[in-house]
Structure 1
Amino acid sequence: MTRVVVVDDQTLVRHGIRSLLALADIEVVGEADDGRAALEVVAATEPDVILLDLRMPRYDGIWTLGRLRERGTEIPVLVLTTFDDDTLLLDALRAGARGYLLKDVTLEQLTRAVRTLAEGGTLIAPSITDRLLRAIRSGPSPAGADAPPVQELTERELEVLRLVAEGCSNREIAEALFLAEGTVKNRVSTILLKLGARDRTKAVLRALHEGILR
């Protein structure tokens, strides 16, 4: 069973998410109402996925993502928010979020996103992908001004990268391309190196910015 921690300042929202996820055999192992409390709960429960709201009093979602990154936490974070804001979305992805959904999603969409992140994938709501692409290409490189130049990807690496951008896990990529899962893992590592990216989300962002992905 996939285990999650829900971080949201509204008690009713947290309880609602807990009840809905229980219907899909996803267990909420902890709750927090701001970022500082979230760090303690995550450390105590070690969930598979963190569901994180962005707009919270005191210690908000961006602050929380930054502290998780400083601690070297590898647990994937799915941002779940009511705010449809391009700047906030980019800030969250650059801070380390692996997925981004609005709170008007269906239970099926939410559970699929949770399981996708738990399996190593990434996911961004299709309704905001086009706007995200425009924002990325019109702004500075997600990798930063001092990032190494992008190295050319092979055709197979491009196939893997496209599936990563669609939110596929290593297992799903292996099945789609008829490869061993270990081979996919190695190819993803090579892609990260060639794109000068720390993780899969940063790799997709830079590939979009550089026009490698359309």
Structure 2
Amino acid sequence: MLAAFAKEESQPGPKLLIAAEPDRMRDSLHLLLKTARGIHIVGLADDSSVALRMVSEHRPALVLLDTNLLGEEMPTVLKKVKAKESQSRCLVLTDTFEQQREAGSAGADAALVKGFSIEKLFQTIEELLQDGQSRSRVRRSASGERIGQDFFTTDR
């Protein structure tokens, strides 16, 4: 399957992998996150096998995992990501609260139900990276506001 790369591997900042089926949401996330200061998108994976290969290859600080990723079920993929790269933080984007609970049980570091705000996404990414090995600060290019506290919430 397709694996697209946003920037060269030599770019500074913590590495982020977006693993989601090709659709408008993934394209929007990619456009939004590639403008963020302090992160480096190492690639886009459109199925679970590509995502797992890219985790091994790039050792990202953060994996953004959509529950609609083609291939294996999200809990299985999440466990395999953690087994391959235990230092990687995993942020799962879910369609339902049940999937959110499932993601937490499977080892997600955070899970957001779709419909979250841009601010909530950036806050969660920033806190996951601060909590992780990279200790980097990620801010939205324009403002970088911080809101909320709970990683397992939605803004709805």
Q: What is the TM-score with the length of structure 2 in the denominator?
A: 0.70
After TM superposition, the structure 1 = structure 2 runs for residues 133-212 of structure 1, keeping only pairs within 5 Å, are none
CA contact under 8 A between 2:56 and 2:85: conserved in structure 1?
A: no
State the structure with bigger RCO (CA 8 A, min sep 6), 1 or 2. Answer: 2
Count of residues in Structure 1 that have an aligned counterpart in Structure 2: 126
Contact 1:34/1:60 (CA < 8 Å) preserved in 2? no
For structure 1, list consecutive stretches of 5 or more residues without a partner in the other structure.
129-214
Identify the match of residue 107 of structure 2 among 96, 101, 110. 96
Tell me the amino acid that sits aligned with residue 85 of structure 1.
F
Match of 2:76 among 63, 86, 90: 63
Structure 1 residue 109, shift from structure 2 partner = 1.5
1:3 to 15, 26, 35: 15
Task: Name the structure where helix makes up a greater proportion of residues.
Answer: 1
Letter paired with 2:152: I
Task: Tell me the SS of whatever aligns to 1:5.
Answer: strand
What is the CA deviation profile of residues 100-121 of structure 1, one whole-angstrom value per residue up to 9, with x for unaligned ones? 1123222222111111111117
**CA distance, structure 1, for counterparts of residue 74 and residue 60 of structure 2:** 17
d(CA) in 1 for partners of 2:64 and 2:87? 14
Q: Does the 8 Å CA contact 2:45/2:51 hold for their aligned counterparts?
A: yes
What secondary structure, in the 3-state scheme, does the structure 1 residue paired with 2:131 have?
coil
Structure 1 residue identity aligned to 2:24: L
Q: Give the equivalent residue in structure 2 for 1:37.
A: 50
Amino acid in the other structure paired with 1:6: I
Corresponding residue of 1:125: 153
TM-score, normalised via structure 1 length: 0.52
Alignment pair present for 1:105 and 2:116? yes
The 1:62–1:75 alpha-carbon spacing in structure 2 relative to 1, beyond 3 Å, is same
Q: Which has the higher strand share?
A: 2
TM-superposed deviation, 1:96: 0.8
C-alpha distance after superposition, 1:175-214 (max 9, x if no partner)? xxxxxxxxxxxxxxxxxxxxxxxxxxxxxxxxxxxxxxxx
Give the number of the structure whose alpha-carbon radius of gyration is greater: 1
Aligned-pair identity in percent equals 25
- Unaligned 5+ runs, structure 2: 1-12, 133-149
- Matched position secondary structure for 1:97: coil
In structure 2, the partner of 1:193 is none
- 1:98 CA drift (Å): 0.6
